[in-house]
Chain A
């Protein structure tokens, strides 16, 4: 045993060092490794969670965007449709109005024409009656006076003048 004790190997010291090491192991497990592990696990969990969350948010936003796009598209399509419809309706209204106006005008023209004709007929009738009256008058005058040629002429002129004043009225 002389050789080994020369190197300093000693059971008591050996056991003490083993115990020291085991104590260190236990203490470090409590004060270093466990908190560290917990921290590292928590951190990796956090990172994983936040990555997942970010992924979810991204997905959601993509979905929302798509939805929005779809809605916009639909809205624009609807608007277009509505405009087209409105234009068409306006066109129709315009056409109808035009037609109505045309019809109205025609009606008016027809009415005016018939009125004009009536007026003219009435006037002609009046003139005829006047003329007949005048002739009768003139004839009466001729008979009543039986004048010479000169007087005759004067008479006709007078009648004509009278008739013209009548016509004018």
Chain B
């Protein structure tokens, strides 16, 4: 047997490679010429289906129809698509769980097991198990909202409602209502667990009037101590700062996800407008990654906050968690 000849490049023979290169080049050239820059430079007439319209960007999601006075927007529909997809997918897999997993079950178990281990490593064994469902749901909901909206055709089905044309589906993360809703769930989750594990004294970090009242009471007993009054006022101010941080946390939750996702959507639109056909796949890879990171940040921060809430009086772990919070944020940015 003679030594097998090396054929062409990239596993293709040369003629095939040349054909592929020509097609790619043609796509790039047509894309460039039909995009806005090419149009502005050369004014070549293309059939109308090749020319991308100027994208119109709405921050507010348009209402598609109305149920009992509740507006159903296209982002709500997209959220429902995600819900149906996730539930159907997990039902199909867990319907016949096997001790020795098949291929699909392995993937499923790998993903969820990974999140589970993440919960355990941050919150400890017992708490990790308790927090896992909510954290995992946040991760899955955010991630699949982002990824499903990348499926071709997702945003291009148009429907006529209220006299104007709208997309039937739009990535649920690009609606502030969705991100605010998830942030709200996360907030309720944190507060609930804080109150449940530490009790009413958990609220002391937000309403710390005790020392101030005690020192004021001291005045009537004839013991006037300015230091006590001062530190009491500082405690109250710290409580106010905690309130502020709680508020900002949720706002940042909401707007980080909304901003990242909306920016991604706009980036896809703009890339399609300026340089159609050729550039979007790069943006798509970027968006897949961004969706994953945002889901991880949202779920991870929720996990960190809830862990902080259930252990808020242990200064040591508090410090550690502050660090892990920073790490999660760094990853997200």
* A and B found bound together: yes
B260 near A: Cβ within 8 Å? no
Cβ of A20 < 8 Å from any Cβ of B?
A: yes
Interface status of B184 (Cβ within 8 A of chain A): yes
Q: Shortest distance in angstroms between B42's beta carbon and chain A's nearest beta carbon?
A: 38
Most buried by B among A31, A42, A43: A31
What is the CA–CA distance of A16 and B73 in the complex, to the nearest angstrom? Answer: 10
Across-interface contacts of B140 in A (CB, < 8 A) = 28
Residues on B with C-beta less than 8 A from A25 are 133-134, 137, 185
A residues engaging B (CB < 8 A)?
5-10, 12-18, 20-25, 27-29, 31-33, 35-40, 42-43, 46
B interface, CB within 8 angstroms of A: 58-61, 69-73, 75-76, 79-80, 82-83, 86-87, 90-91, 94, 97, 99, 108-109, 112-113, 116, 129, 132-134, 136-137, 140-141, 172, 175-178, 180-182, 184-185
CB–CB A24/B181 < 8 A: no
Q: Write the chain A residue with the least CB distance to B178.
A: A17
Please pick, from B75, B79, B99, the residue contacting A39 in the complex, using a CB distance under 8 A: B99
What's the least CB distance linking B61 to chain A, in Å? 6
* Interfacial chain B residues near A10, Cβ < 8 Å: 60, 71, 73, 177
- Bound-state CA distance A46–B98 (Å) is 13
Further contacts, 19 of them, CB under 8 A, given A17-B177, A21-B79, A28-B137: A7-B59, A7-B176, A8-B61, A8-B175, A10-B60, A16-B76, A17-B79, A18-B184, A20-B76, A20-B181, A21-B141, A23-B83, A25-B134, A32-B86, A35-B97, A36-B94, A36-B109, A40-B116, A42-B99
Which residues in A have their C-beta under 8 angstroms from that of B73?
Answer: 10, 13
Nearest Cβ on chain B to A84's Cβ, whole angstroms:
61
Check A20 against B79 for contact (C-beta < 8 Å): yes
Given A8-B177, A17-B178, also A24-B83 (CB < 8 A) = yes
List 14 interface pairs A-B (beta carbons < 8 Å), by A numbering: A6-B60, A8-B59, A13-B175, A16-B76, A17-B79, A17-B180, A18-B184, A21-B181, A21-B182, A23-B83, A27-B87, A28-B86, A28-B140, A36-B109
B184 touches A13 (CB 8 A): no
**Closest residue of A by beta carbon distance from B83:** A24
Beta-carbon nearest neighbor of A28 in chain B: B137
Nearest-CB residue, chain B, relative to A22: B185
The CA of A15 and the CA of B59, in the complex, are separated in Å by 19
Closest 9 A-B residue pairs measured CB to CB? A8-B60, A17-B181, A32-B90, A35-B94, A13-B177, A12-B70, A18-B181, A31-B90, A14-B177
